Amino acid sequence: MSVDTAEPSEFSPRQNAVLEQALRLLVDGGEKALTTSGVARAANCSKESLYKWFGDRDGLLSAMIAYQASKVRTFERNGERLTAASLHDHVVIFARDLLEVLAGDVSLALNRLAIGQSHRDGSKLGKLLLERGRRQIDRRAMALIDAGKRAGLLRFADADEAYHTLYGLVVSDLHVRMLLGEPGLKDTARQAERAVTAFLRLYGTEKVLAEMPALG
């Protein structure tokens, strides 16, 4: 399986540690610091191992973005029976992780770099951020939304619309403001809880609404 299609869970703990070092190099030194020699030194591994695991520099970037996106957790336990309480908890975890990842130095550095490259012909970073970052998060979060509907806890005609409502409630314009230099939220937990409560009031079935005071 190529790095372009591999899921972050398919990388080993050692490979994930290398990706963490590569992300730190990018934050501290910008694009110029992200060389195979620099990553190999920072991660204490050989350049041969980097090429074997991730391929070329674009492959390394793709893996870094997918690894960063994997920090936003969603509903992934096969066979788990969702209840109103567990759905609430899963969506809150997603919302908190999303806020913390988007507000982190790594995501801000990646997005600023992609914006700076957007005028270049053949710039790939923006495309990688969409395909290996945002869309990976979207896909896993929509699986949670769909599971909630199948369990009779959520009701909606359009899953994409419901998900993007949730995303908007959680993120609002925070990420844009932070890219422009504003400080992040002081209390991501509170913002996550408020967003999820609003989402469940909009899309929750009677089962969920009946438990709202206890949930929120």
Q: Select the more confidently predicted residue: 114 or 77.
A: 114
- Total residues belonging to the chain: 216
Nearest to 23 by CA among 92, 77, 116, 101: 101
Q: What is the arithmetic mean of pLDDT over 184-190?
A: 83
Identify the CATH class of 13-70.
mainly alpha
Given a cut of 50, whether residue 141 has pLDDT beyond it is: yes
Q: Give the model confidence (pLDDT) of 99-131 as tens digits.
A: 999 888 888 888 888 887 766 655 677 888 888
Per DSSP, the three-state class of 64 is helix
What are the angstrom distances between the C-alpha of 107 and each of 90, 148, 164?
Answer: 22, 29, 20
Q: Give the model confidence (pLDDT) of 189-204 as tens digits.
A: 999 999 999 999 999 9
CATH of 84-211, one of 3.40.50.10540, 1.10.357.10, 3.30.565.10, 1.10.10.10: 1.10.357.10
Q: What is the arithmetic mean of pLDDT over 83-91?
A: 94
**In the chain, where the domains are located:** 13-70, 84-211
Q: Determine the pLDDT at residue 202.
A: 96
Given a cut of 60, whether residue 3 has pLDDT beyond it is: no
pTM for the whole structure: 0.84
Q: What is the largest CA-CA distance in the chain?
A: 58
d(CA 33, CA 153): 48
Given a cut of 50, whether residue 92 has pLDDT beyond it is: yes
Sole residue written with tokens 């089962």: 207
Per CATH, 13-70 and 84-211 having the same topology is answered no
Q: Which residues contact 211 (CB under 8 A, 6 or more apart)?
A: 84, 85
Q: Which two tokens stand for residue 24?
A: 């730190």
Q: Give the model confidence (pLDDT) of 151-177 as tens digits.
A: 999 999 999 999 999 999 999 888 888
Per DSSP, the three-state class of 162 is helix
Given a cut of 80, whether residue 80 has pLDDT beyond it is: no
Q: Give the model confidence (pLDDT) of 39-74 as tens digits.
A: 999 999 999 999 999 998 888 988 999 999 999 988
What are the angstrom distances between the C-alpha of 94 and each of 11, 31, 46, 99, 145?
Answer: 22, 29, 35, 9, 11
- Beta bridge partners, 204, equal 154
